[in-house]
Amino acid sequence: MKFVRFGESGKEKPGVVDDQGKIRDLSGLVTDITGDALGGKLSESLKHVDISTLPLAPEGARLGPCIAQVGNFIAVGLNYADHATETNAQIPKEPILFNKARSCIVGPYDDVVLPPNSTKSDWEVEIAFVISKRASYVSEDEALDHVGGYFICNDVSEREYQLEREGQWVKGKCCPTFGPIGPWVVTPDEVGNPQDLSLWLEVNGERLQNSTTRNMIFPIRTLVSYISQYMILEPGDIVTTGTPPGVGLGMVPLRFLKRGDTMKLGVEKLGIQEQRVI
């Protein structure tokens, strides 16, 4: 199933996408779309509900971030070998982990705001997932049992802040609006194999990223298991898994986002995002 949150920022309601692609209001059945709700078998309980009888969301309603009550926002760096190569970085022997701030999360069609004095803001299409069951020291064999759903993340990054300032990558990863997620979170049964999905990104209609999750160095089951060796993953934690080649940092000459640009990006089975840069 595809779960969504709609409405003005801070007042989103939970919804589900019906067979005709229309959004149905779930607020009479569930408080919100959270990791706990997904772990509570929300989709199983809805199998006994005629979704077509639920109220429709208002036409043209804004789509908010697809997950509410996010805990940790964990990201994986350089998880595609050809992306590492294009940015002159070593191919990692273990997953590179960093954090994005929860405060950077926005909806899939919200504007992306360039930080003051930014000159090197960049795009990154990624597949992300939400934890729905507590994970601590889990094996790869059981890792995917802890995933409640998958969605798109645009890991927007300010490269000067990330790479040219002292300290860790988080400086370039946490600016407000730098974490669009959605449009919806898709349950694992509908996604199938998360390591066999195409993903792409366009800037102003030009396709710059075009790859497949088959090319990830560390697949999602490995990431869940690996991260759980260093921290407890709780329901509501989200993980974005790295980007393929085609980012502005890897281009010759370098190319970065500017006011008025439009980013459009998609992951197979997970929908499409679009953001205007302001």
pLDDT given for residue 43 in this prediction? 81
Shared domain check, 202 and 230: yes
Percentage, residues of the chain above pLDDT 70? 100
CA distances from 82 to 79, 124, 140, 212, 241 (A): 9, 14, 25, 12, 15
- Average of per-residue pLDDT across 16-31: 96
Please report whether residue 249 resides in a domain.
Answer: yes
CA distance 231 to 39: 19
Residue 67 has pLDDT above 90, yes or no: yes
Q: How many domains does the chain have?
A: 2
> Where do the DSSP E strands lie in the chain?
2-6, 13-17, 23-25, 73-77, 96-99, 105-106, 121-122, 125-131, 147-154, 157-158, 179-186, 198-203, 206-212, 238-240, 262-267, 271-276
Domain holding 253: CATH number? 3.90.850.10
| Residue 9 and residue 132 in one domain | no
Q: Is pLDDT above 90 for 12? A: yes
* Whether the Cβ atoms of residue 146 and residue 138 lie closer than 8 Å to each other: yes
- Are 18 and 80 found together in one domain? no
Residue 198 scores a pLDDT above 90: yes
**Structural Rg of the chain based on CA atoms:** 18
Q: Distance (Å, rounded) from C-alpha 70 to C-alpha 148?
A: 13
Can you give the residue range of the structural domain that contains 269?
73-276
For the segment 201-213, what is each residue's pLDDT rounded down to a tens digit?
Answer: 999 999 999 999 9
Provide the token pair at 175.
């600016």
Instruction: Based on the fold, state whether residues 161 and 264 are members of the same structural domain.
Output: yes
The sheet that has 198-203: what strands, in order across it?
206-212, 198-203, 262-267, 271-276
Per-residue model confidence (pLDDT) at position 47: 82
DSSP helix/strand/coil, 82: helix
Structure token pair of residue 38? 């997904």
What average pLDDT does range 219-228 have in this prediction? 98
- 195 pLDDT more than 90: yes
Which pLDDT score is estimated for 41?
79
| Same domain as 167, residue 222 | yes
One domain, residues 26 and 103: no
Phi, psi of 42 (to 5 degrees): -55, -45
The answer to whether the beta carbons of residues 131 and 238 sit under 8 Å apart is yes
- Predicted confidence at residue 164, as pLDDT, reads 94
Q: What is the pTM of this model?
A: 0.97
Does residue 68 sit within a domain? no
pLDDT at 42: 87
Regarding whether 78 and 48 lie in a shared domain, the answer is no
Nearest Cα neighbor of 233 from 138, 149, 126, 153 is 138
- Residue 188 is classified by DSSP as H
Is residue 236's pLDDT more than 90?
Answer: yes
pLDDT at 84: 86
Residue 129 vs residue 88, higher pLDDT:
129
Strands 262-267 and 198-203 turn out to be antiparallel
Residues 118 and 231 in one domain: yes
**Which 8-state DSSP code applies to residue 135?**
B
Give the chain's mean pLDDT: 96
> What per-residue confidence (pLDDT) applies to 190?
97
Q: 139 and 18 share a domain?
A: no
